[in-house]
Amino acid sequence: MLNLPFLRKNSKSELLPTDNIVALDIGTETLKGILFNSNKFGVNVKKVSRIEQQQHAMKSGIITNLDMVLTNCRLTMSSLTDRLEEEEYPKHIVMGIAGEYIQGVSIVVNYQRDENYEKEVTEKEQGKILTQIESKIESSGKEDLGRRIGLTNDDIEILHITKTGLEIGGMPVDSLVGYKGRDVKLNYYASFAPKTYVEALRKVATELELNVLGVVSQPFAVARAFAGSSNRDFSAIFLDIGGGTTDIAVVEKGNVVETKMFAFGGRAFTKEIVKIANLEYRVAEQRKIKYSKRELGKEMARDVQKIVYPVARLWMKTLKVALEHCDDVASFPPQIYLCGGGSLLPEIKEVMLEFPWKKTLPFAVVPKIEFFTPEKLDHISDSSKELRNVFDITPAALSKFIYDIHSKELNGRDK
């Protein structure tokens, strides 16, 4: 795996299995935090925090009022670190990022070893191959995103370039070292964002006095956190429906081949309830949540259903457009996993079940729709017993991302 731009190169950035780390998902409606550590066996979740955000703190997954968000982050840290000894206090943080301008690209690189292809690949040669490819991805990725959203290279930040698969001579391998062959195939996922978005998150980390281990594309993290998602026989679509955005990740044969995000989430349903039922925003939000939990009386539930169903149909149309723009996907997988608080609205699954998938999009069969629940997370144990909901998936996925990039280091140390 290639070095992340946010990983410090000095020894202080090395993680120990005992180090407590914070994963922070700064959502539009709820700020979610997890305290965890990571050892050779995986992630251990120690504590979970959920803080309700003010209406104007965020918009479409992006921070709009930094002071409000910072206040909520401090409340989160206070909740997560309550009763910790001073030496147990976390020094590192991993943060998720979402929004329409976050660009994720799947890259397949075909490389030929013209010289010495009959000899085994050495550590030095593998390092040279990966460095050349990383440099090319950085430059071409920035240019592509710049063209799409009208920013210059200097205004774009590389979030992470992650190697997701390797082949040599047509054989899948974990490392090229020790293998012979001319043809090398490498799969990557690269993520880029406008620098202003990333700087706002960096500011949060600085104020919390925490070292940023990574700012991670949330749909990528969610897809990679599902148990077995990196296996070569695994293909699925992941939909993370938050308060301000819906994040899409398409996994094909163990590789994340496409991510899309659009600014349509649970908040749109709440605003429609505000407008039609003439309620204050927080009252409407609570009514929507109670409706999702089936805690409203029949008459009130019927009134909410009449309001949210047309919005759900509009959301489905927007999802269709987003899937139509997945240029790297010839045929979509037959499985869809839902997570995020917005996915709990019954109308979301209802409109998906009604949708003519095979007629309007390249699906070979009508996809099966399931929820991505915490027990389906990969290499994550929950000693807190608080990881129970579909809206806890994203912060847990961020912790899994840190385990993935440090697992070799942790395994090597424990041998």
Q: Which residues contact 61 (CB under 8 A, 6 or more apart)?
A: 27, 28, 97, 98, 99, 242, 244, 245, 261, 263
Query: Do 131 and 240 share a domain, yes or no?
Result: no
Query: Do 364 and 250 share a domain, yes or no?
Result: yes
Task: Report the chain's C-alpha Rg in angstroms.
Answer: 22
Query: Domain for residue 124, yes or no?
Result: yes
Query: Do 363 and 270 share a domain, yes or no?
Result: yes
Query: Do 131 and 249 share a domain, yes or no?
Result: no
Number of domains comprising the chain: 3
Query: Domain for residue 71, yes or no?
Result: yes
Query: Do 75 and 135 share a domain, yes or no?
Result: no
Query: Do 335 and 400 share a domain, yes or no?
Result: no
For 112-131, write each residue's pLDDT tens digit. Answer: 988 788 999 999 999 988 88
Q: For position 299, which CATH number holds?
A: 3.30.420.40
Helical (H) or strand (E) element with 51: strand 42-52
- Residues in the chain, pLDDT under 70: 1-13, 141-142, 145, 148-149, 408-415
Q: Rounded to an integer, what distance in angstroms lies between the CA atom of residue 337 and that of residue 225?
A: 12
**In the prediction, which pLDDT does 3 show?**
34
Q: For position 183, which CATH number holds?
A: 3.30.1490
Query: Do 334 and 254 share a domain, yes or no?
Result: yes
Query: Domain for residue 342, yes or no?
Result: yes
Sheet holding 103-112, edge to edge: 171-173, 156-168, 183-194, 103-112, 255-262, 246-252, 236-241, 335-339, 368-371
**Bridge partners of residue 259, in order along the sequence:** 249
Query: Domain for residue 296, yes or no?
Result: yes
**In the prediction, which pLDDT does 20 show?**
97
Query: Do 207 and 66 share a domain, yes or no?
Result: yes
- Contact by Cβ (8 Å): 190, 133: no
- Single out the residue of 188, 137, 161 nearest to residue 328, CA to CA: 188
Query: Do 367 and 389 share a domain, yes or no?
Result: no
Residue 278 gets the label, from left (phi > 0), alpha (psi -120 to 50) or beta, of left
Range of 183's domain? Answer: 106-193
Query: Do 125 and 263 share a domain, yes or no?
Result: no
**In the prediction, which pLDDT does 415 show?**
41
| Helix, strand and coil in the chain, % to nearest 5 | 40, 30, 30
Query: Domain for residue 3, yes or no?
Result: no
